Structure 1
Amino acid sequence: MSTRELHRQIAACRVCEAALGFEPRPVAQFSATSRILIVGQAPGSKVHASGIPWDDASGERLCEWTGLTRDQLHDPALVAIVPMGFCYPGKASGGDKPPRPECAPLWHERVLATLPQDRLTLLVGTYAQKRYLPETRNARMADRVADWRSFGDTIPLPHPSWRSTMFMRKHPWFEAELVPEVRRRVREALA
């Protein structure tokens, strides 16, 4: 299946519409040349409105961590963005609801099959890490991120929301060691 057809099918997906209670707007980006894969949680309300992945303050912080420009982040020829849930899940007390569970089993394998095999994968947040690093399922997110050297071309990162400020304050090694390594690997993947 072509990436164009897969994009079309994803855009037309309405599997979770009844559970959401509003019209889904699946947000994903990828191409056959995407050498960087970012697996996140689910679009927030701003991304739901714009249809552009990471089009919010979390995206700005993700750019800071990775060294990607906004244009690079949103270029599917360079970066695939495949959240655990492709649609905004709605509000919960204290933030957004978790990603809808239907998306990843329905779409991820098909999308990943279109990407280059030699790619850098960034697992942003607990949901992505638990799916793609199942052996660490019972670990705390901070411990998974601290163990980043164990995962080869896959790097676990905290979600870059405003809450990550507390994470960075509590774990100074993140900015001192991991952020420079992420930037180096991103540059390498883009070269």
Structure 2
Amino acid sequence: MDALLHEVKQCTICVDHLPLGPHPIATAHPDSKIVIVGQAPGLKVHNSGIPWNDASGKRLRAWLDVSEDQFYNTKNFAIIPMGFCYPGKGKSGDLPPRPECAPQWHAALFSKIPHVKLVILIGNYPQKYYLKTDVGTNLTETVSNFKSYLPTYFPIPHPSPRNRFWMSKNSWFEASVVPDLQKRVHEII
């Protein structure tokens, strides 16, 4: 695993498309129990090198009901985003994750984590990639049908503060889905 993560961190496959250059961010351990598949690091994470070290990460840890120590313990959580590097700024937020990372690295990383009990898919990009034809017609449909993807996958929205509108329109998520997510996480770790 250490050799593979070292190789990931040296990756330059999409260097010509990255406004700030490559800075791959992913964490894992052979004993990781839960894999978090997000979209791509934001600017703050790019600068710190610490995954989910921002407002989105704070909300995600609250949704999971875990401490920072639990979250950053790689025996609990592997963090394998769809794109490992900051993709740059778009009109209404960050650009989509680069499409090269997941096909290049995910299978190799997952093959080194044999005891994964749950894969949390955060947002549309990981949900479409992993759920393929079983993904709902939109994020709301996919997340509301989360039980149909268990026990392997648990789709959730992105915890970004930019998702305030979705969260206010879909209060059922924090009322009924988050408690189930927390229960599963606590049973696993």
Aligned residues: 188
Equivalent in 70, 75, 78 of residue 76 of structure 2: 78
In 1, Cα distance between the equivalents of 2:164 and 2:62? 13
Task: Please state how far the C-alpha of 1:137 moved relative to its aligned partner.
Answer: 4.2
Partner of 2:147: 149
SS in 2 for 1:87: coil
- Residues 120/52 of structure 1: CA separation in 2 closer, same or farther (3 Å cut): same
SS in 1 for 2:161: coil
Partner of 1:7: 5
In 2, Cα distance between the equivalents of 1:140 and 1:77? 32
With 87-96 and 166-175 compared, the bigger mean Cα shift is at 166-175
In 2, Cα distance between the equivalents of 1:21 and 1:75? 30
Q: Is 1:112 matched with 2:110?
A: yes
Normalising by structure 2, what TM-score? 0.96
Partner of 1:133: 131
After TM superposition, list the pairs within 5 Å mapping 1:164-179 onto structure 2.
164-179=163-178
Equivalent pair of 2:56/2:161 in contact (CA under 8 Å):
yes
Partner of 1:123: 121
SS in 2 for 1:99: coil
Partner of 1:59: 57
In 2, Cα distance between the equivalents of 1:19 and 1:171? 35
Amino acid at match of 1:30: A
- Residues 86/13 of structure 1: CA separation in 2 closer, same or farther (3 Å cut): same
In 2, Cα distance between the equivalents of 1:61 and 1:31? 24
Superposed CA RMSD in Å reads 1.2
Task: Please state how far the C-alpha of 1:68 moved relative to its aligned partner.
Answer: 1.4
In 1, Cα distance between the equivalents of 2:112 and 2:15? 26
Amino acid at match of 2:180: E
Partner of 1:180: 179
Runs of at least 5 residues in structure 2 that lack an aligned partner in the other structure: none
Partner of 2:188: 189
Partner of 2:44: 46
Percent sequence identity over aligned pairs? 45
Runs of at least 5 residues in structure 1 that lack an aligned partner in the other structure: none
Amino acid at match of 1:62: L
Normalising by structure 1, what TM-score? 0.95
Task: Please state how far the C-alpha of 1:80 moved relative to its aligned partner.
Answer: 0.4
Runs of 4+ displaced beyond 3 Å: none
CA distances 1:130-172 after superposition (whole Å, capped 9, x unpaired): 0011123461100000000101121100000013332222112
In 2, Cα distance between the equivalents of 1:148 and 1:131? 16
- Residues 58/8 of structure 1: CA separation in 2 closer, same or farther (3 Å cut): same
SS in 1 for 2:188: helix
Task: Please state how far the C-alpha of 1:114 moved relative to its aligned partner.
Answer: 1.0
